[in-house]
Homo-oligomer: A and B are copies of this chain.
Amino acid sequence: MRWDEIDSQVCSVARTLSMVGDRWTMLILRDCFLGVTRFTDFQKSLGITKHRLSDRLTKLVDSEILKKQVYDTNYGRYEYKLTKKGLEFYPVMMSLVAWGDKWATDEDGAPLEYIHKPCGNKMQVATQCNHCDEPVTAFTITPILGPGILEKAKRGELVDFDNQDIYKSIKQ
């Protein structure tokens, strides 16, 4: 399977990664969440080549994760800003940060820290169950088939439905 075919998979991770899962795109989004909006600033910050950046920004705009706006009409200059869809990617970004701060820093510690304005504390994100507020872990969750698969199976659209039996609940 070629990478440009993975969005055909019935999987939210696969479909999400088809938009943001290549080299550079998530780093561009990181910069967006740090307030970077302009082509040149992305380039300085990332050290990405211009045509690659141009290509990635265009794709993010096509995916409606970023929007391109003129910010100086006389001058014809643009800024790239997060849409609602893009802004809601923030939990993914902060989860990456939390993991990286723990598992991918040197002895100096976290490069950035985050103040949660409403409570004023230095914050780390906690990923919790929206019902009981307990932290989620891989061992406390059972995945079950959802409508996105079951409805298609009913209509006979899932060629590889047999593959589903590869997936088992994960065990300690």
Contact = CB atoms under 8 A, between A and B. Distances in A.
A70 interface: no
A35 B112 contact: no
A106 B136 CA distance: 26
A34 B167 contact: yes
A69 interface: no
Contact of A115 (B142, B152, B170): B142
A73 interface: no
For chain A, give the interface size range.
35 or more
Nearest to A41: B166
A44 B159 CA distance: 13
A78 interface: no
Listed residue (A12, A24, A97, A147) with the most chain B CB atoms within 10 angstroms of its CB: A12
Interface of A: 1, 3, 6, 10-19, 21-24, 26-27, 30-36, 41, 44-48, 82, 85, 87-106, 108-119, 121, 123-134, 136-138, 140-149, 151-152, 163, 166-171
